[in-house]
A and B are shown apart, each in its own frame.
Chain A
Amino acid sequence: MKILVCMKQVPQKDAPLKLNESGTWIREDVSYEVNEPDAYALEEALRQKEKHTGEVVVITAGPARSQQVLREGLAKGADRAIHLEDNGFVGLDAFNMAKAFVAAIKDEKFDLIFTGLQSDDYGYAQTGVIMAELMGWPHATIIMEIQKTESGIRVKRELEDGWFQHVEMPLPALLTIQSGINKLRYATLLGIKQAKNKPLRKVTMDEVKSALGENLQKIEKLYVPQKTKKTEMLDGTPGEVAKKLVDKLRNEIRVM
């Protein structure tokens, strides 16, 4: 099976984020990491390839720094990478981002495309589903298991409140992968070494521009959310804080 994995570089989970001066985006001088569900998507692609043979290709869009997620993907076992390299890709809405990816892979023939179920930055949870519709492929979201069948695949979708559902699908298909579908592997030293010699195709904004349009939705401003609750902060040594908390548990929350 030939599998494409869409990966995204997002700010590290505990990185302190600051707004830029115009309040339209974050200041980019932060540490980045692979969007967590995308790491699971990659792992699942590698496992499918190990079971059924084939090829795993990783793709991302963003400035030079985002190449790191492709390097990590290659080090873990992906065969090659595609980098849509331009800072302009960061500001695209999900519709145009999906169009850019579809344009970049128009000469490829994949059996499956995986994305993480959503990103930790925008959190749209849409790009994969939009790609599927643009390509005329079926899709299924929030996937926890993938089995190959004679005619296609059978996947396990996570529903809410502990419910699941199996779905039979033809190929090619697009799946959005849920965190926890598998156990992540680490890159080996050998893998990291080999990654340096694996092919990485760069795609410029100019190459895909004709496929893109104006953004259909616009972020007017980004800001620190207003508190909906008044939080009483308690400080002191651990012993002092513990005493204050017990007082609250007893006299205000009344659970002791």
Chain B
Amino acid sequence: MADTILVIAEQREGKLNRVSLETIAAAQAIAAETGTTVEAAVFGSGIAGIAQEVAGKKLARVYAIESPKLAKYEPDGVVAALKAFIQQKKPSLVLMPHTYQVRDFAPQLATALERTLISDATGFHKDGGKLVFTRQMFQGKFAADVSFACPAPHFVTFQAGSFRGDKAEAGASPAAVETVNAQITDGVVRNQPEDPFKEAKQAVDLTQAEIIVSVGRGIKEQKNIELAKALADALGGEIAASRPICDSGWLPMDRQIGSSGQTVSPKLYLAVGISGAIQHIVGMKGARSIIAINKDAEAPIFEIADFGVVGNLFDIVPALTEEVKKAKAGS
């Protein structure tokens, strides 16, 4: 399996995490350029159905790595199971989605094999004979081309949204599914996880909002949030924020957009004083239109905005609110 790309698909609570399809699409794209084959693995307990679901994609083989010890996610059992599996199968490249779960075990897995993980990559290209991965640095202000400087297996995680899951090619017929019974020795697992839970149910479902006015650090003080609220009201939209605003308690946590908050795709996303850190972008880049107002012309938010205004939000936002009100009154 030396010329094989292995995709480790993610399941949580017995359901395939759809972001895994993006990773399969990434693997298929890399395989097309490098002449490698793609296989996938899922780990857990009682996951035959999920393995079957994955096997619908164009893959050479799908492994269901099973153990009762993998029923609840914790990193030690997963690393023990995957380490043994990778040592036996010897894939050249191991791809995973950059989820919170993967972030928890993937660096441990790579280290246990004395290898390295290129984390949160957004793309790849071939440079001569070398496979190079692109990742964002300095909060998205720069991109870096990163290569491996050690023998295989090479580990890469891809940021959500870097590839399109609906572009993952289906197979002509389902791929063969092979069950692997993982041996996890007693004592290997140190953490005892409890069942996942949700804090007080979310008061607002921003995923249904057509217009979102979102504020970031540029708003400077809690009282200035009112400026953005007035604009949201004038537009008939919802107010939201980047993580630091909710961390400060200026808006409730259920108004947070980004990897740890809600993922939205409204008709309009109006970003006010938001620089556009990766963790925020992943939560809103699906918006149909993005307007960004920021004092820093170099802010990464302008990379993905349809319309941009460089300037002082404290002047522009009230002017815009007035103009919107005027236009609505007149129409």
How close is B79's CB to chain A, nearest CB, in angstroms? 8
CA distance A227 to B301 in the complex (A): 11
A160 to B99, CA, bound (A): 8
- Write the nearest CB–CB distance from B49 to chain A, whole angstroms: 22
Docked-complex contact A219 and B260, CB < 8 angstroms: no
Asked if A197 CB lies within 8 Å of chain B CBs, one says no
Contact of B147 among A217, A229, A232 (CB under 8 A): A217
A13 to B139, CA, bound (A): 9
CB closest residue in chain A, given B218: A14
- Contact between B198 and A164 (Cβ–Cβ < 8 Å)? yes
A166 to B309, CA, bound (A): 43
- Proximity string of chain B (296-331) to chain A, C-beta cutoff 8 Å, 1 when within and 0 when not: 101010111111111110011011101110011001
- Chain A 129-141 against B: per-residue CB contact (8 Å), 1 yes, 0 no? 1101110001111
Complex contact A217–B116 (CB within 8 A): yes
- Judge whether A19 is part of the interface by a CB distance below 8 angstroms: yes
Name A125's closest neighbour in chain B (CB-CB): B103
Per the CB 8 Å criterion, the residue count for chain A at the interface is 82
| B residues less than 8 Å from A142 (CB atoms) | 100, 103-104, 260
CA–CA, A13 to B140, complex, Å?
Answer: 11
Say whether B260 contacts A160, CB under 8 Å.
yes
Report A-chain residues with C-beta under 8 Å of the C-beta of B135.
123
Contact for B192 among A167, A220, A229, A235, CB less than 8 A: A167
Contact A162 B198, beta carbon cutoff 8 Å:
yes
B46 is an interface residue with CB less than 8 A from chain A: no
For window 242-298 of chain B, which residues contact chain A by CB distance below 8 Å? 243-244, 246-247, 253-254, 259-263, 267-268, 275, 277-278, 288-289, 291-292, 296, 298
A218–B148 Cα gap in the complex (Å)?
Answer: 6
Could you tell me which residues of chain A, from 232 to 256, have a CB within 8 Å of some CB in chain B? 232-235, 238-239, 241-243, 245-246, 248-250, 252-256
What number of B residues sit within 8 Å (CB to CB) of A? 97
Q: Find residues 111-145 in chain B having any chain A CB closer than 8 Å to their own CB.
A: 111-112, 115-120, 127, 132, 135-145
CA distance A106 to B112 in the complex (A): 19
B291 close to A133 (CB less than 8 A): no
* Chain B CB within 8 A of A121 CB: yes
Q: Which residues of A contact B101 (CB under 8 A)?
A: 159
Interface residues of A in 68-119 (CB under 8 A from B): 93-95, 98
* Contact between chains at B217 and A220 (CB < 8 Å): no
- Asked if A207 is at the interface (CB within 8 A of a chain B CB), the reply is no
Residues of B within 8 A of A26 (CB): 138, 142
CA of A79 to CA of B292 in the docked complex: distance in angstroms? Answer: 44
**Chain B residues near A157 (CB-CB < 8 A):** 104
Question: Which residues in chain A, 198-249, are within 8 Å of chain B measured between CB atoms?
Answer: 214-229, 231-235, 238-239, 241-243, 245-246, 248-249
Residues facing B in A159-180 (CB within 8 A) are: 159-170, 178-180
Interface contact A165-B328, CB-CB below 8 Å: no
11 A-B residue pairings within 8 Å (CB atoms): A16-B298, A126-B119, A133-B111, A165-B195, A169-B191, A222-B142, A225-B143, A225-B300, A229-B306, A234-B308, A245-B309
Q: A140-B104, A214-B149, A232-B307 are in contact. List 9 more A-B contacts (CB 8 A).
A: A16-B298, A120-B138, A140-B191, A163-B197, A214-B150, A220-B146, A221-B145, A234-B308, A249-B324
Give 6 closest A-B pairs by Cβ, nearest first. A180-B247, A216-B116, A242-B323, A129-B107, A126-B107, A138-B190
Q: B: which residues have CB within 8 A of A?
A: 74-76, 99-101, 103-104, 107-108, 110-112, 115-120, 127, 132, 135-150, 190-199, 202, 210-211, 217, 235, 243-244, 246-247, 253-254, 259-263, 267-268, 275, 277-278, 288-289, 291-292, 296, 298, 300, 302-312, 315-316, 318-320, 322-324, 327-328, 331
